[in-house]
Structures are given as structure tokens and as C-alpha cells.
Chain A
Amino acid sequence: MNTMNDDENTKGPQPWSDPALEARVVASVLGETSAFEASELERILAGNPELAIFKRRIGAVHTLVGVAFLPRQPKIQLSPGRRQQLLEKLGARPAQPGKKVKAFALPFPQWLSSDTLNRVVACLVILAFVAVLYSLSLPAITGALMKSPRRSIASSPNEERPQFHGEAGGFLAADGLDRKASVGIGGTTAVSSVSESVTDSAGPSSKPDSSGKKLAAVEATAIKAFTSGWGKGSGSGTGARGGVAAVEAEKQVLRDAGDVSAPGAEAVPMEPAKAKASGKDRDPAFQAEIKTTRQPFSTFSLHVSDVSFQLAKDALAKGAMPDPGRIRAEEFYNAFDYSDPAPAPGEEVACRIEQCAHPFQQQRELVRIALKVAAAGRAAGQPLRLTILLDTSGSMEREDRAESVRRALQTLASLLGPDDRVTLIGFARTPRLLAEQVPGNQAGKLAEMAARTPSEGGTNLEMALDLASELALKQKLPAAQNRIVLLTDGAANLGDADPARLARQIEKTRQQGISFDACGVGANGLNDEMLEALTRKGDGRYYFLNRPEDADAGFSRQLAGALRPAAENVKVQVVFNPARVSQYRLIGFEKHLLKKEDFRNDKVQAAELSAEEAGVAVYQVQTLPEGEGELGEVFVRFRDPANGMMVERSWTMPYEAKAPAFDKAPPSMQLAATAALLAERLRGDSRVDLDTMAPVIAKLRGQYSHQAKVGDLIRMFEKMRR
């Protein structure tokens, strides 16, 4: 073939090649040269025929690559008969005349649209699955019981959802994927029945007003108290007083107990009127500043993860810009340990609030709110019922991924005790039950078992999830932590799945008491959006193991925390004082926002915190120097898994007339602000001025030298600044 090129075999630099000159030629071919440089180059080319040939070759390649990237290529297809035959063989949908796929269509959200395809594939897979059922004679890999996977096509009908009986006027979220939930004041009945439990350790409990009627009566006066009486000292706002006396009492106790937050605070009415708004709150898009007079409530599920940070780190390390759509700011600033104080003895949760001036936006402050749950007490003894869904598709066979899985399973096994039970399901094209109800102290075998499971092509997460849900429900122990954990690289296999259906399945299982976690393995090709969305539905944890060596003590802690939450259904509601804060913006948590009234509706599920884990939120606020009162109030509400009781606490966010400048702020504030702002920059906010932040970031290195992730953050900053 290559007869015309006799010089082909001479490897290495050719005599005429002068890299600097060549680079200039390439730059000129690519249109990077000024007119002056171009004419200068012409002169050189005239006297250098070799270089002229080089230019011609590069020009030809340039044209070819350009053509290959033309967005509209002439479309040619196999002849119809052959095409049909091939498509059938490939297990795809039959030819669809009229619908053409562009050669360069970004197939990204294809799983959102290719409904038909999914259905056809699902049917085919079910058929294949039935066939497998009949032919299945899998050798037992260990002594563990081998069973044919079963699948209930329409598992768990609706009548098994007793917790939804009171659903009156529930909101259906706009995107159709969000959780369905009953909302409204009636939801507070649950509160009254459980909040008593709080008293055992903390004295008078937060006892939110339990009667819808009473609340309604309070509302009218409450909003008045809000705008007029805030911050005038404990004599004012009497209208609201009656309804919130219990809160006030509780706060006194908290103060007496030496709580970190400020003294002299005013009570915040629990449920001021005007419940509308929320629609905008739930917009997952970039958050705009919200006017406090219009919506003083900011409510969200306190979800703690660091996956987005890790993926961005990985992308930047490879010299690529992370996808702005995958930047979740809260997963940046929640990646670090700020050494926030643990709750005082007898307390279940502590709160630390810090502020500083915004580094470059005028008249804005940043507020960091950190909530930390007490060390695991009673919950530590809670047994586990784990159902592990292990992706055994071909891509997981890669040595590093297989090793990551082995380490992850080993780590997991090390955290289990004899009372725990693990069920392992491998899945590729079909799910396979590898081991059922293995006692925790024998779980070490699982890693080995997984390693010996041959990988297969294809994947069917839907079917695997159905099997997992079915088994998890069957083996569910009400007193245990019941969880499904998906281990996947998310590549080349989740694509067939219908995410909406998966989300529904996970949500349904969740409502029956089983959480859903996902552990992503390896950054390449990880279907981050989908895993994030699924764990959000399952109120579980989303964590990530990029390389086997990342399965360190930190990962083990993360996993341990994920397996034994010390607080479930953790919701935060920040109520801003319109007399002091003109507008505010929560940085991050866009997909975790809740409606105001969801805060005390315990049927609306939310995220989990593990023992001694801090959940952090960062707000940007504009304060009114001539205004009055404090910034507002922070409420947190969660379920203690040890006794199933709801706990609610609140703290005042004090107004600091002279919030420290960014470079004078405490390191924890600086670190959180840096992480939040870098995330915003990566999301495309060009106002984030990296140069202004540089001196502070230089200092962080010394402050947090023991935290590897802070080093990662600084390296990311340096890459972004270049």
C-alpha cells in the first residue's frame, strides 16, 4: 500500500525538521498567526522547500480532520434488508424510518429520550432472562446458597405504601422525577408524637406546634412579628410568642448548655404565612439571589458527599475542564474536615456558624453553617442488612477496577459484625445471586467471590435492582439498617436503563425502609448524573473510589458512616430575617432543595449524616447595615435511627456588623469559601476572581497540611489559574 513513500522506514527526526519552525507552520495553518508573522513565515518558506512540503502535508491533514469533524456528514446506510437483519442481531430496535441519528449528535442525555429503544431492549432482555431462568444451573461458588434470581415484574403494588394514606393535595414536582410527597400543615402531627423523645437528654424539647389550627392562627401575627419585631430584644413580637414558646424554652436550654451559637437571640416564628414561593426554590439550575422579603425560608436536605469534587479533581489532573453540569458546589465544600466542634455531652447535634466578607463581591457576606451529629451511641449496635449489587460487566474486568472492587468489598467486610447479613448479587446482562445472607464476620469471602465471578457483556441494572429490592424487602429487619449498595463503574452498562423507572423503583423501596447507596468505581465514563440522582432518590450515600489505592482509612470511615447513619432524614431550614438580610443565596444543594413545608413533613425523606460527620452549607447574603436584628435562624430536623424519634434544634445566626475580611477570616471559613467559589467558577461563573483568592489559598496549605484533599483543592486552584 505504501509504495510511494520510500522514506517511511526512517524513523526519528527528519533532517529538515526544526521544531520551532514547524510549530510556527502549524500555528499558521491553524489560523493562529498574525498577518505580520504570516508574511514573515512566507519568506522563510520560500527559502526552505522542505518546510514548504511540511506545510502542505499539515495543510492536507488539517483539511481532512476538519472534514471528519464536519457536523453534517452525508448520511449513508446499509441496504434496508441487511440493516434490519443486523439491527435484530445487535439487539436493537427495528429500523425506524424517518428517525435519523446525526453522526455527531452528542448522545449524552440519550437515555432520557430513547424510550422506545429502552422498552424494546427491556422486552428482549426479559425474554432472554426467562430463557436463562430455565437453563440456569450455576455452580455454587461458595457454600452460600445459590438461587435462581427471581423477578417480580410488577413488584410491590401501591397498597403496600401505608405511609402515604394521608396524602392530601400533595405536590408533584415539576420535573416528574422528584419525590412525591404529602405536604401541608397536617404533616406536623407526626412531629408532636415523636418530639417528646428529645427530652431524655436535652431537657425541654423543641416542641413545634402540633396543631394545624393553632399554627394557622399564629401565622397572621407571625409574619408581622417577623418584619417588625425582630431583634428588638425579648419583649417584642408578642403576637408570635404563643406559638413558639416551646422553641424559645428549648433555645434557652441550648444556650445554657454552652452551645456555640449566639446569645440574646429572638425567637423565630416557626411557620410564618405565605407558603407559596417554593416552585422557584426547586429549580435545579443555578441559584439566583432570593429576596428575603419574598421568601425568607431556605429549606434543603443536608446531603454530604464529595464525588463532584473528586471527579473535577480527576478531570483537571488530566488537563481537561470538568463538565460544568457535573459541578455540585455542596460536594466541593463538604469534601473537607473543618474540625467543627462535636455536640456537648448529652446533645445530639451541634451547630457552628461563621461569616466573612465576600472576597470580591461588594456588600456580600459568606456564611458557613456546619452541623455535626454526636458520636454514634446506641445506633452503633444496630445490625445491618446489606444487599450489594455488583456490576460484573466487561468494563469492570479492568485490572484497576477489579482491584478497586476487591478493596471496597474488603473494607466493607472489615466493618461488619456477626449480626450483620450481606447478600451479594452480581449483574451484567442478567442478575445472579452470588451469596445470600452471609453473616458479617464471614463477609471476607465476598471479595474473593466477586473476583471469581466471570464478567459478561451488557448490563441490566433495572432487572438487577428489582431483584435486589425484592431480596432486601424479604430480608428486611425493622430494627436493622437496611441498605442496597450498588458498586459500578457506570460505564457501558447503565446506558440501557430507564433512569425514571430506576428512580421510581428506588423511591418505592426507600419508602419501605431500604436506603440506596452507590459506590462509583473509576472516574472514566462514570455515569455521575445518574448515580447521583439515584442515591438522591434512595436518600443514601454516593461515594467514589477512583483508584484501588484510594481505599484508605478515609474511605473506610466514609463507608462506615454510610452504613450506620447517626441521623436520618436530615433537613435544614434557614429562616432569614428580612429586617437584616435583603437577599441571600444558598451556594450548592440545587438538587436538594425542599419546599418550606416539607421541613416538618417527616414523610418527605432526606439525606443522612453519620456519627461525628459535619454537614456544611454556605450562603451568600447581603445584609442591611442600617437594618435590625440578627441574620436569622437555623433549624435542623432529623430522625435518630437508634429510637426512630425525630429531633429538632435551632440556633440563631448572629449579625456581625464587622464580619472579617476574607483574608482575616478563620481558616475553616476560608476553606469552605474557597471550595464554594472554585465550584462556582467551574460552573461557569466568570466573576469568581482567582487572583484575589490566591494569597488566602497559599495560607490554607499550611493550615491544613494534614488533609490531602485540601492539597488537591489547592492544586485544582493552581490549574484553573494557569
Chain B
Amino acid sequence: MTEPSTSPSEPLSGTPVAVAFPVPVAGETLAEIFESEESAVLGYAIGLVGRRAVAEELVQEAFLRLHELWSQVENPRAWLFRSVRNLALNHLRDHAKETVEEGPEGPGNENPPDEALGRLEAIGMVRLLISELPPDDQSLIRLKYHDDLKYREISRQTGLSVSNVGYKLHHLLKGLADALRHAGIDGSLG
């Protein structure tokens, strides 16, 4: 099995904090992270490689590697998504010729249609990008999208001014849009 081409553990921003995406918790165990992220990471992997069986292998590999490096990884969620992405890109590069022969790979291994794949990949990428943001930015996005708050309410909760909230969200979304484009996702999925 290929390995992540970059070491995802070093460039990650910050440490786990109380408010993030989805709220990283002090003292969370790997098992807990597995429970909360399994679905999202697997969805992302499927979106990237398009084949359920391969995706499962990549996810398994990523979790095993995280298990090994557990004490050194500061931001396990971001690490996980980044690893899956790297593993998937390696896989696609190494198996570029095989992608034509799609087909079912066994009982129960349903491979989603292409447009669903694009969506899974995009959502996974968004999760990856958000989990790599500094904690404060994560919490801002969370207040907006998870708690569905208005600028004014966010301002009250964070102590930032209303215009500052607007400014920050503007740049966060713009940054996400740019990063998605870099990742080859133009985000136009309707």
C-alpha cells in the first residue's frame, strides 16, 4: 500500500480546542475519532477513488497510520482527511490505467455514480480544509453554519465587531473557494 506522499502531521495549524469542526474534544480517543469520522472519511475516499473497496482499504490504512503516530499528531481530524487524500492521489497515480475497468467488485460493494462521487469528494475536501483552519476560524464557521447564527449574533458571542465578522467570513469563504479550485473542484455542483 502506498503511503501519504507528504507528512500530514507537521503543517497543521494549532491544537485541538474547545470549538471546532466537529468540535474536537479534549481527551478524545482514537476510537472516538473513528466513530465520529468513519463515515465522513469513507465518503471522501469513495469520492476520490470512485470504488468502494479501494476506498475502504485507504481508510483502513489511514486509521492504522494514525494509530501508530497518535502521540505525535496534534490535529487528528485534519491529519486523517489529508492522509486519505494523499493515499487516494497515490493510488490514482499508480493505477491510472485501471480506472477504465469499473464494474462491480463484489457483493455489496456498490460504487456510486459519477455525480455523487464529485459531491462526496467536494464535501470531503471542504471538511479537510476546514479542519486545517486555525481554531478561531473554525469556530467562526461553525457559528455560522452549524449554529446558523447571523453576523450580529456571532458578534455578540465572539466579541468581534459585526463588520469584523463579515470581513472574516468573507475571507474564509474566499479562501475555501480558492483552495477548492486548487484541488480541482470548482464547486459548481448546483
Contact = CB atoms under 8 A, between A and B. Distances in A.
B170 A491 contact: no
B16 A92 contact: no
Interface in A319-362: 319-321, 323
A495 B29 contact: yes
Contact of A457 (B22, B70, B74): B70
A57 B187 contact: yes
B127 A68 contact: yes
B174 A2 contact: no
Contacts of A492: 16, 26-28
B36 A321 contact: no
Interface stretch (A79-87, A159-167, A374-382, A435-443): A79-87
Contacts of A26: 166, 169-170, 173-174
A73 interface: yes
Nearest to A4: B186
Contacts, number: 236
Interface stretch (A36-44, A101-109, A416-424): A101-109
Nearest to A318: B136
Given A26-B173, A525-B17, A65 B130 contact: yes
Interface string B128-161: 0010000110010110111000110000011111
29 contacts: A8-B181, A8-B182, A29-B173, A57-B186, A62-B173, A65-B145, A65-B176, A66-B145, A67-B126, A68-B130, A68-B145, A69-B142, A73-B39, A76-B38, A77-B39, A78-B42, A86-B60, A90-B30, A106-B23, A107-B36, A111-B27, A121-B31, A318-B136, A320-B159, A321-B157, A395-B71, A458-B70, A490-B27, A722-B161
B31 A90 contact: yes
A108 B23 contact: yes
The 10 closest A-B pairs by CB, nearest first: A495-B27, A394-B71, A92-B31, A60-B187, A457-B71, A525-B26, A1-B184, A69-B145, A26-B170, A101-B35
A93 interface: yes
A343 B104 CA distance: 84
A470 interface: no
A121 B29 CA distance: 11
Interface in A427-452: 428
B79 interface: no
Contact of A65 (B17, B141, B158, B166): B141
Given A60-B186, A101-B36, A103-B22, A92 B170 contact: no
Contacts of B74: 395, 398
Contact of A491 (B16, B32, B119): B16
A61 B187 contact: yes
Interface in A5-36: 5, 8, 19, 22-23, 26-27, 29-32
Contacts of A319: 136, 158-160
Contacts of B60: 78, 82, 85-86
Contacts of A491: 15-16, 26-27
A103 B28 CA distance: 14
B146 A87 contact: no
A288 to B, nearest CB: 25
A493 interface: yes
A496 B29 contact: yes
Interface in B55-98: 56, 59-60, 63-64, 67, 70-72, 74, 89
A108 B130 CA distance: 20
A50 to B, nearest CB: 14
Given A68-B127, A398-B15, A458 B23 contact: no
Contacts of B141: 65
Given A26-B169, A104-B22, A61 B146 contact: no
Interface of B: 14-19, 22-32, 34-40, 42-43, 46, 56, 59-60, 63-64, 67, 70-72, 74, 89, 108, 119, 122-123, 126-127, 130, 135-136, 139, 141-142, 144-146, 150-151, 157-161, 166-167, 169-170, 173-174, 176-177, 180-184, 186-189
Interface string A46-82: 0000000000111011111111110001111111001
B123 A68 contact: yes
Interface-centre pick from A23, A69, A89 (highest chain B CB count, 10 A): A69
Given A57-B187, A722-B161, A108 B56 contact: no
Contacts of B126: 61, 64-65, 67-68
B43 A76 contact: yes
Contacts of A1: 89, 183-184
A86 B15 CA distance: 26
A5 B119 CA distance: 19
Interface residues of A, number: 88
Contacts of B169: 26, 30
The B interface is mostly helix, strand or loop, or mixed, namely helix
B26 to A, nearest CB: 4
A643 interface: no
Given A319-B158, A525-B26, A105 B39 contact: no
Nearest to A5: B181
B31 A4 contact: no
A117 interface: yes
A526 interface: yes
A74 to B, nearest CB: 8
Nearest to A525: B26
A428 B183 CA distance: 39
B119 to A, nearest CB: 8
B68 to A, nearest CB: 9
Contacts of B15: 395, 398, 491, 524-525
Given A4-B184, A90-B30, A492-B28, A78 B16 contact: no
Given A8-B182, A78-B59, A320 B38 contact: no
Contacts of B135: 318, 524
A546 interface: no
A107 B177 contact: no
B182 A2 contact: yes
Nearest to B40: A103
B51 to A, nearest CB: 13
B155 to A, nearest CB: 8
B174 A22 contact: yes
A319 B70 CA distance: 30
A30 B180 CA distance: 19
Contacts of B26: 490-492, 494-495, 525-527
A105 B182 contact: no
Nearest to A79: B56
Given A2-B184, A457-B71, A104 B28 contact: no
B183 A73 contact: no
A32 to B, nearest CB: 5
A145 interface: no
A320 B71 contact: no
Interface string A103-126: 111111011000001000100000
A95 to B, nearest CB: 11
Given A67-B126, A76-B38, 20 more contacts: A3-B184, A22-B170, A26-B166, A57-B181, A58-B177, A65-B130, A69-B145, A78-B59, A89-B64, A91-B30, A91-B31, A92-B35, A320-B19, A395-B15, A395-B74, A398-B15, A495-B25, A495-B29, A527-B26, A719-B159
A393 interface: yes
